[in-house]
Amino acid sequence: MSIMMIILPGIFAFVSAWWLTNRLCSPKSFLSILAHPNERTLHSMPTPQTGGVAVIGSVVISLILAASVLAVTQPSKPVLPKGVASGSVWIVVSMLLIFVVSFIDDCVGLPAALRLGVQAASACIIIWGVGLTLSSIPIPGGPNIPLGIAAIPVSVLVLLWMANLYNFMDGMDGFAGGMTFFGFGFLAYFGWQANFPVMLIIATFVAMGALGFLTHNFPPARIFMGDAGSITLGFLTGTLMILGVRDRIFELWVPVMIFSPFIVDATVTLIRRALRRKKIWQAHREHYYQRLVLSGWSHRRTVLAEYGVMILCGGLAVLYHHSTDDGRLIILGAWVGMFLVLGRLVKRLELQQQTVSHPVRSSKAASEATNVQAVLAEESQRVTVKT
């Protein structure tokens, strides 16, 4: 495969996403759909939420451009091997199905059952059309745990959870765009190393499209990704995860590490809310990144810290992939320990914020009590005793 087949469409994905996102930022845009502040989000003003159109649109156009470049330069050579090409078509079809339904939901709102049903149908397309399933769970230094008949339902759950957790985590300026750029960038690296064109091409174009979008989404954001972007990209993340595992590009732990800034935050938050018997489907601000912002950190500071975590997790995934079994156990332990430490740091920041705010409230209450006592004393002096 010619490197120009990747570079030129990749640059086009960045430029087209940047240009289209810029156009969609305008209130006069032909697609002016605003995201209003609610119980889940951290923004305070209505903001356009059609950035996903730019990202997904740039990826699809770049895929067509890449196929056209190869068709012109090497007309006798297929873009992809026959079986791989048909599988790639099914991946794009399922992605576009979710995109269209999510975009309609952004515009007019759709019942949750309908959206989840379309996501499940797309997952079935991936499983039966492409043949993607998680057949086992690897244990570093130990045997693989075969899933057997549970492979299909587990694969469906993985795809649905990745699609929705990406949406849950898209609540801060530059966050989902950054995760997409770094995460798919690392997936592109593994596709390049394994000489696996499907992974390399799709991941590269998605990463470059996300970077073009991120130039307008970085704090303070002028535009958001919307469900059409976040849910579609989350579903595509799950698809490439399972594809890479099935074709032995990497072990399951590699993509889990790469996207762990999203996976760990969303999963741990869901479990915490379930244990506290809260309604897990209700909007909230209990994700770790939201708690950081509510503790006083700015959006920019928080998202830059998250970028550092993303790069570190991607680096650990690369080390894990190239390590021995003993080394992999150490890396997994360091990875788990890192998130335990980060969780404690967030909790400490919350306690510090409470410590700072409580004395203010206490002094205010004391001042109000003093004022009340003074008023009462003054009123008592004004009482006229009748004889």
Return the number of other C-beta atoms located less than 10 Å from residue 338's C-beta. Answer: 16
Residue 201 lies in a domain: yes
Measure CA of the first residue to CA of the last residue in the chain; give whole Å. Answer: 109
Residue labelled with tokens 């394994």: 194
Cα 280 from chain centroid?
18
Residue 357 lies in a domain: no
Whole-angstrom distance, CA of residue 118 vs CA of residue 163: 12
SS3 string, 54-121, reads HHHHHHHHHHHHHHHHHHHHCCCCCCCCHHHHHHHHHHHHHHHHHHHHHHHHHHHCCCHHHHHHHHHH
Percent of the chain with pLDDT over 70: 84
| Model pLDDT for residues 235-282, shown as the tens digit of each residue | 999 999 999 999 999 999 999 999 999 999 999 999 999 999 888 877
pLDDT band at 207 (very low <50, low <70, confident <90, very high): very high
* Spatial contact of 52 and 225, defined as CB atoms under 8 Å apart: yes
Phi first, then psi: give them for residue 373, nearest 5 degrees: -65, -40
Whole-angstrom distance, CA of residue 263 vs CA of residue 309: 13
Parallel, antiparallel, or unpaired: how do β-strands 47-48 and 34-35 relate? antiparallel
pLDDT band at 365 (very low <50, low <70, confident <90, very high): very low
Give the chain's domain count.
1
pLDDT band at 359 (very low <50, low <70, confident <90, very high): low
Residue labelled with tokens 């990497």: 250
Look at 379 and 227; give whichever has higher pLDDT.
Answer: 227
- Two structure tokens written together for 261: 């800034």
- Give the angle 189-191-197 at the CA atoms, nearest 5°: 135
H or E element: which one contains 235?
Answer: helix 226-246
Which residue in 237, 227, 224, 260 sits closest to 184, CA to CA? Answer: 237
Residue 329 lies in a domain: no
For 34, the domain range is 4-255
Percent of the chain with pLDDT over 90: 64
Question: How confident is the prediction for the chain on average, in pLDDT?
Answer: 86
| Model pLDDT for residues 292-339, shown as the tens digit of each residue | 999 999 999 999 999 999 999 999 999 999 998 889 999 999 999 999
- Two structure tokens written together for 169: 């985590």
Is a pLDDT exceeding 90 seen at residue 88? no
* Spatial contact of 47 and 221, defined as CB atoms under 8 Å apart: yes
Q: Is the peptide bond before 220 cis (omega within 30 degrees of 0)?
A: yes
Residue 85 lies in a domain: yes
Name the E strands within the chain.
34-35, 47-48, 136-137, 145-146
Whole-angstrom distance, CA of residue 296 vs CA of residue 301: 10
User: Phi-psi bin for 144: left (phi > 0), alpha (psi -120 to 50), beta?
Assistant: beta
| Model pLDDT for residues 12-57, shown as the tens digit of each residue | 999 999 999 999 988 777 777 777 766 666 666 778 889 999 999 9
Parallel, antiparallel, or unpaired: how do β-strands 136-137 and 47-48 relate? unpaired
Report the predicted TM-score, pTM, of the whole model to 2 decimal places: 0.87
pLDDT band at 7 (very low <50, low <70, confident <90, very high): confident
Is a pLDDT exceeding 70 seen at residue 81? no
Tell me the mean pLDDT in the region 82-95.
72
Residue 153 lies in a domain: yes
* Spatial contact of 315 and 197, defined as CB atoms under 8 Å apart: no
Quick check: helix, strand or coil at residue 136? strand
What pLDDT does residue 379 have?
A: 40
Longest CA–CA separation in the chain, Å: 117
Tell me the mean pLDDT in the region 79-84.
48
